[in-house]
Amino acid sequence: MSNKVTMTVIYFTDGALIEDLHIRKSLLRIPEIIQTLRENQDEFLNCDLFIAMMDQNIFNQLNYHQKARLKSLIQTALYERWCRQGIEPDLIIHRKKYNDFSEVCATFAKLATIEGLRVVTVGPGFDELEKFLRQTLKLETQILHDMISVDPQLNWFWDDVKSGIQLHS
């Protein structure tokens, strides 16, 4: 019988992969994202969010704040879906709350001392964190998971999406 304790850390990336058209189209397969886009459409004047998700030119016409809000909505929808699976995180870290990546590295360097560490990213995908954990801290890559990849109802299409792009923002 193992008494190994697992610490689950949710890490919200900067959401850079959402700017990729292929990723956005793939995200429209997720019911929670569709629902979130419908519920928040009124916030985006003169822009149809579904068209922005499907057309790079329309997406590019969004201003900085609209893009940031759209990324936040998508990440929140993914996180809420994950929470409905009954898994409680021990810690939540948002990349955008840090001034620069070195501060994120310092936080994860401290967390890396925990034997049962499990990091689940809300990206989709990863950012510089994967390289830092794998190369700098020499941690096993099995501790790092993409939220979509670990969802048994979503991983069926995500592997194909990952094979079509480089999952580093």
Q: What is the pLDDT of residues 30-87, one digit of tens each?
A: 999 999 999 999 999 889 999 999 999 999 999 999 999 999 999 999 999 999 988 8
pLDDT for 157: 72
pTM over 0.85: yes
Name the one residue in this structure whose structure tokens are 């994860």.
108
Q: How far apart are CA 61 and CA 56, in angstroms?
A: 9
142-167 pLDDT tens trace:
888 888 888 888 877 777 776 666 54
Question: Residue 168: its pLDDT value, please?
Answer: 39
Planar angle of CA 110, 12, 133, nearest 5 degrees: 40
CA-to-CA distance for 101 and 36, rounded, in angstroms? 29
12-16, 61-65, 132-136: which range is least confident on average? Answer: 132-136
Q: What is the mean pLDDT of residues 83-98?
A: 92
Domains, in order of start, for the chain: 7-164 (3.40.366)
Note the pLDDT of residue 57. Answer: 96
> Crossing angle of helices 64-83/31-40, nearest 10°?
140
Contact of 152 with 41, CB cutoff 8 Å = no
Contact 80, 32 (CB under 8 A): yes
> What pLDDT, on the 0 to 100 scale, is given for residue 106?
95
Is a pLDDT exceeding 90 seen at residue 126?
no
Q: Which two tokens stand for residue 122?
A: 């809300």
Q: Are 127 and 95 in contact (CB under 8 A)?
A: yes
Sign of the four-CA dihedral 69, 43, 80, 157: negative
pLDDT of residue 164: 66
Helix segments in the chain, DSSP class H: 21-27, 31-40, 49-54, 56-61, 64-83, 101-111, 128-131, 155-164
pLDDT at residue 167, rounded to an integer: 44
